[in-house]
């Protein structure tokens, strides 16, 4: 690992002043950043440690449940308010990483973990995300884990977070602060698609610090489910994952939220499939129809062709669990 | 608004850097520094940022309590907790497996919570209490989890064992050892290439059911 400067500015304001400089990165849990630094994928000149900032609280505010950027993944996953109001978020967090990593990783860091694939990590291979203009090793290469939605000819990597899939389904908002003041970014707009600039994973501007996320109240707590399909039963990235949340009136679907992980450069919200569910009766057939709508426009790259079958099957199964059909 | 010395903040941010920066500049010529420095430093030097070069060389003071013993150390910011434990404190019970947070061999407890020490920078855990595998036994009396691993043959080569045991203790303390399924899920961050998993699960179940304090 290359040498770097370390600093722990005392206040939030001092952090915001410090992060505006090029070559500077924030470190919180470090579970992704330290790994990337060890492999030489990234080499910041200076790390700003923010672990001491008072951004760990989980509380109910005017706009819903507020979760501080430094709340640990393990703490959020077992928090009473989270379990009571948004069990989907807890399920997604528990499906992610390992217990040790969840004890280190923060909410802000989880959001800001790199969209990535094995070619991004391998510094001997081309990767437009790591080294713009060098090409994409995954297109025409080993692409079993890769995107089926929203990719470009520059990058087909996926965002590996489970937490973010739940947060996009739950209409969360990311609250950020910079010298200009605070800004609220709808979760669905926070991460970006690769397009011509796969080196950029999200729309956080230089000098902005994530303060936390806010999840508006909803009626999904009774009927939500997170289903993650992977190569081994635990501690692996998703091949495909689905966050499903339903509001039921008897057997009728009043409201629905659906999002997928492991399929795109960002957590992938399935708005058209949600529309196909609203007003319908809970049944395997209803879910199958929505699942087929969900994968319209999907594009595969050889190694991940199987996702065209796995993705809709996972959506149907997640909806069955959420609705109580199984 | 900048506050210089808030109570929760160690003073090194200002004072330590100032004094050692002076020392550094006194004892080394700039050219010598450039000749032996990695590229970020050369870049910094080219932009005439002498101070930045000095800063990059700084070691940071770290205070840790490891297995009940307090240590005052001075480390480069890039030193991981794992390397600090093994190389500087000579506590080699904690193992370096993958060194990338994927295998769990390096698992230790920080303020009672299990973490991967290979992805934890030493500077970040300054002021915290660390427990390693060496800190579990009380003198000659093994920890119940160590006894159970021996009784149930919870290892073959033994390389993953310190991490497995630290994780297993945390698994029970967290309340995640209530069934075989739950134990397997909450021990998934510890890989055993010999495949001693069934015996590891048996060991954890015995300690859990025995109700002893862990």
pLDDT in tens, A60-95: 999 999 999 999 999 999 999 999 999 999 999 999
**Under an 8 A CB cutoff, do A100 and B104 touch?**
yes
Q: Most B CBs within 10 Å: which of A100, A101, A102, A160, as the mutation test of the B interface? A: A100
Residues of chain A positioned with their CB less than 8 A from the CB of B114:
99-100, 103
pLDDT of residue B30: 46
Confidence at B58, pLDDT banded by 50, 70, 90: confident
Mean pLDDT in residue range A106-119: 98
Residues of B in contact with A4 (CB under 8 A): 40, 56, 77-78
Q: Which residues of B touch A37 (CB under 8 A)?
A: 78
Contact in structure between A59 and A81 (CB atoms under 8 Å): yes
Residue A207: give the domain boundaries.
58-97+162-215
A155 lies in some domain: no
Nearest by CB: B9 against A5, A10, A37: A10
Contact (CB, 8 A) for B85 and B94: yes
Grade residue A23 by pLDDT with cuts at 50, 70 and 90.
very high
Same domain, A195 and A246: no
Secondary structure class of A281 (helix, strand, coil): strand
Domains of chain B, by residue range, sit at 11-57, 80-135, 144-210
* Calculated CA dihedral for residues B185, B191, B196, B201, nearest 10 degrees: -20
What pLDDT is stored for residue B31 in this prediction? 45
User: Where residue A253 sits, what CATH number does that domain have?
Assistant: 3.30.390.50
Model pLDDT, residue A22: 92
> Are A8 and B170 inside 8 Å of each other by CB?
no
Q: What's the mean pLDDT in B120-140?
A: 97
Averaged pLDDT for residues A238-247: 98
Q: Closest residue of B to A100, CA-based?
A: B115
Residues A193 and A287 in one domain: no
- From A215, A246, A281, the end of a domain falls on A215
**Spatial distance between the Cα atoms of B142 and B105, rounded to a whole number of angstroms:** 20
Residue A31 has pLDDT above 80, yes or no: yes
pLDDT band at A162 (very low <50, low <70, confident <90, very high): very high
Q: How many beta carbons lie within 10 A of that of residue A85, not counting itself?
A: 20
The CATH-assigned architecture of domain B80-135 is Roll (3.10)
The total number of structural domains in chain A stands at 3
Interchain CB distance below 8 Å, B189 and A7: no
Chain B residue numbers with beta carbons less than 8 Å from the beta carbon of A45 are 40, 44, 56
Inter-chain CB proximity A2 and B38 less than 8 Å = yes
Query: Is the residue at A141 inside a domain?
Result: no
DSSP letters, A137-185, are SSTTS--TT--SSS-BTTB--B---SHHHHHHHTT-EEEEEETTEEEEE
pLDDT band at residue A37 under the 50/70/90 scheme: very high
Q: Testing the interface with B: which of A6, A51, A106 to mutate, by most B Cβ within 10 A? A: A6
Residue B55 reports pLDDT greater than 80: no
Q: Which residues of B touch A14 (CB under 8 A)?
A: 2
pLDDT above 60: residue A106: yes
More confident residue, B119 or B51: B119
Average pLDDT over residues A178-195: 98
Res B70: pLDDT: 98
Query: At B212, is the pLDDT very low, low, confident or very high (cuts 50, 70, 90)?
Result: confident
Tens-place pLDDT, residues A296-305: 999 999 999 9
Q: Are the beta carbons of A207 and A233 closer than 8 angstroms?
A: no
pLDDT for residue A43 is more than 70: yes
Residue pair B120/B80 in contact by the 8 Å Cβ criterion: yes
Q: Are residues A247 and A293 in the same domain?
A: yes
Report the pLDDT averaged over residues A41-70: 97
Average pLDDT rounded to a whole number, residues A17-36: 97
In a shared domain, residues A205 and A232: no
pLDDT given at position B7: 42
Those residues whose C-beta lies under 8 Å from the C-beta of residue A23, and which sit 6 or more positions away, are A44, A45, A46, B40
User: Tell me, what's the pLDDT at B197?
Assistant: 98
Q: Is A144 within the bounds of a domain?
A: no
Residues of chain A above pLDDT 70, percent:
100
Which of the listed residues A215, A248, A283 is the one where a domain comes to its end? A215
Rounded percentage of chain B residues whose pLDDT exceeds 90: 72
Judged against a pLDDT cut of 60, whether residue B81 lies above it is answered with: yes
For residue B34, pLDDT beyond 60: no
Distance from CA of B95 to the nearest CA of A (A): 15
User: Does residue A300 sit in the same domain as residue A231?
Assistant: yes
CA A27 to CA A29: how far, in whole Å?
7
Q: Are residues A47 and A187 in the same domain?
A: no
A177/A313 same-domain check? no
> Cα distance from A315 to chain B (closest Cα, Å)?
23
- A175 part of a folded domain: yes
The minimal CB distance from A51 to the residues B5, B124, B174 is found for B124
Spell out which residues of chain B touch residue A30, defining contact as CB-CB under 8 Å.
Answer: 119-121, 124
Query: Is residue A251 assigned to a domain?
Result: yes
Q: Could you give the percent of chain A with pLDDT greater than 90?
A: 100
For residue B15, the model assigns a pLDDT of: 36
Q: Indicate if A84 and A210 belong to the same structural domain.
A: yes
Whether A267 is in a domain gets the answer yes
The predicted structure's pLDDT at residue A38:
98
Q: State the fold for domain B144-210.
A: DNA polymerase; domain 1 (1.10.150)
Q: Are residues A11 and A41 in the same domain?
A: yes
Say yes or no: A232 and A208 in one domain: no
**B2 contacts A27? CB cut-off 8 A:** no
Check whether residue A234 and residue A302 sit in a common domain.
Answer: yes
Query: Does A315 lie in the same domain as A180?
Result: no
């Amino acid at each position: 690992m290359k040498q770097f400067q370390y600093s722990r500015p005392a206040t939030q304001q001092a952090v915001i002043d410090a992060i505006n400089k090029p070559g500077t990165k924030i470190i919180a849990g470090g579970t992704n950043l330290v790994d990337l630094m060890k492999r030489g994928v990234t080499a910041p000149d200076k790390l700003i440690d923010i672990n001491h900032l008072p951004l760990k609280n989980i509380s109910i505010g005017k706009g819903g449940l507020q979760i501080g950027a430094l709340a640990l993944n393990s703490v959020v996953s077992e928090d009473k308010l989270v379990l009571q109001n948004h069990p989907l978020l807890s399920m997604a967090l528990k499906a992610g990483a390992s217990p040790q990593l969840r004890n280190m990783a923060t909410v802000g860091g989880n959001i800001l973990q790199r969209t990535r694939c094995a070619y991004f990590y391998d510094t001997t291979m081309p990767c437009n995300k790591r080294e713009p203009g060098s090409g994409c090793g995954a297109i025409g290469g080993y692409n079993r884990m890769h995107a089926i939605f929203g990719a470009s000819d520059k990058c087909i990597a996926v965002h590996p977070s489970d937490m973010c899939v739940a947060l996009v389904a739950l209409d969360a908002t990311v609250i950020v602060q910079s010298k200009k003041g605070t800004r609220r970014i709808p979760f669905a707009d926070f991460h970006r698609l690769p397009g011509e600039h796969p080196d950029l994973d999200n729309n956080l501007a230089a000098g902005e610090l994530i303060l936390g996320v806010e999840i508006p109240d909803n009626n999904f707590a009774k009927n939500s489910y997170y289903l993650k399909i992977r190569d081994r039963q635990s501690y692996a990235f998703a091949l495909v994952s689905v966050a499903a949340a339903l509001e039921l009136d008897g057997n009728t679907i009043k409201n629905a939220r659906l999002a997928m992980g492991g399929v795109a450069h960002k957590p992938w919200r399935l708005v058209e499939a949600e529309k196909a569910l609203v007003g319908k009766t809970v049944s395997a057939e209803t879910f199958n129809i929505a699942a087929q709508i969900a994968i319209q426009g999907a594009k595969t790259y050889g190694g991940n062709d199987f996702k065209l079958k796995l993705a809709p099957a996972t959506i149907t199964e997640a909806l069955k669990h959420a609705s109580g059909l199984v | 608004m900048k506050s210089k010395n808030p109570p929760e903040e160690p003073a090194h941010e200002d004072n330590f850097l100032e004094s050692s920066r002076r020392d550094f500049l006194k004892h080394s010529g700039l050219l010598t520094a450039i000749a032996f420095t990695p590229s970020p430093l050369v870049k910094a030097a080219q932009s005439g940022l002498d101070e930045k070069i000095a800063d990059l060389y700084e070691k940071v003071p770290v205070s840790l309590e490891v297995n009940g013993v307090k240590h005052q150390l001075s480390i480069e910011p890039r030193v991981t907790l794992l390397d600090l434990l093994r190389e500087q404190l000579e506590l080699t019970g904690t193992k370096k497996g993958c060194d990338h947070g994927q295998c769990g061999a390096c698992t230790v407890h920080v303020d009672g919570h299990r973490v991967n020490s290979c992805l934890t920078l030493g500077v970040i855990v300054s002021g915290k209490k660390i427990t390693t595998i060496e800190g579990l036994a009380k003198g000659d009396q093994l920890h119940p989890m160590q006894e159970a691993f021996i009784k149930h043959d919870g290892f073959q080569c033994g390389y993953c064992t310190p991490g497995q045991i630290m994780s297993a203790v945390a698994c029970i303390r967290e309340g995640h050892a209530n069934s075989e399924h739950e134990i397997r899920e909450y021990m998934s961050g510890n890989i055993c290439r010999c495949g001693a998993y069934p015996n590891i699960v048996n060991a954890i179940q015995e300690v859990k059911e025995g109700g002893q304090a862990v």
